[in-house]
Amino acid sequence: MSYPVVRHWRLIPPNRYKYLWMVYITGIDLSQHCQNCLLGMRSKKFSKGWRDGYTDKPPIELNEYTNPYYYYICGGSWNFDWNLHLALTHSPGKILEYRTAREIWIVENVERIEISESFVDPRDPNYGNPEYRCRNWWFAHYAKRQIEVRRKKQNLLF
């Protein structure tokens, strides 16, 4: 299997993260917000030593969990506008180059899913609650619908 691989990433000073984590998404809990709404296994390959990112790091193969629905990389900065949210889906042979004025990420075998508040179902009981304004929760709405579609297709096959 061609696992996703973080080939290169670099933060451009003064950007750095208070936290940086990656989760292999296996399910969704919309009653939770922030990281807790993304169910699955948190990668042990992203550690405190990765937060500053001023030097190149060795490649990271995202192979700790087999066949997650999605991969989600989140970095919380001291400046909210600089927070990182990369929602990724496995796509063998593709290369993502994500660049901003503050960072560069190159990840192989993935495609990025652009996160939008439009993913949120306005009928959700937490819609409008300020605690549920995070992009993790926005993406969770998209992922929940897509996971349900995949599971229905799998059930039709058996």
Distance CA 131, CA 63 (A): 32
Quote the CA–CA distance of 110 and 132 in Å, as a whole number.
27
Domain housing 16: 5-157
pLDDT of residue 50: 60
Q: Which residue has the higher pLDDT, 83 or 1?
A: 83
pLDDT, mean of residues 9-22: 78
DSSP type of residue 65: S
pLDDT for the residue 139: 97
Indicate the pTM of the whole model: 0.91
Q: Residue 54: pLDDT above 60?
A: no
| Three-state SS annotation for 110-147 | EEEECCCHHHCCCCCCCCCCHHHCCHHHHHHHHHHHHH
How far apart are the C-alpha atoms of 73 and 104, rounded to whole Å?
Answer: 13
Does residue 8 contact residue 105 with C-beta atoms inside 8 Å? yes
The total of structural domains in the chain comes to 1
- Local confidence band at 52 (pLDDT 50, 70, 90 cut-offs): low
**pLDDT tens digits for range 37-49:** 999 999 998 765 5
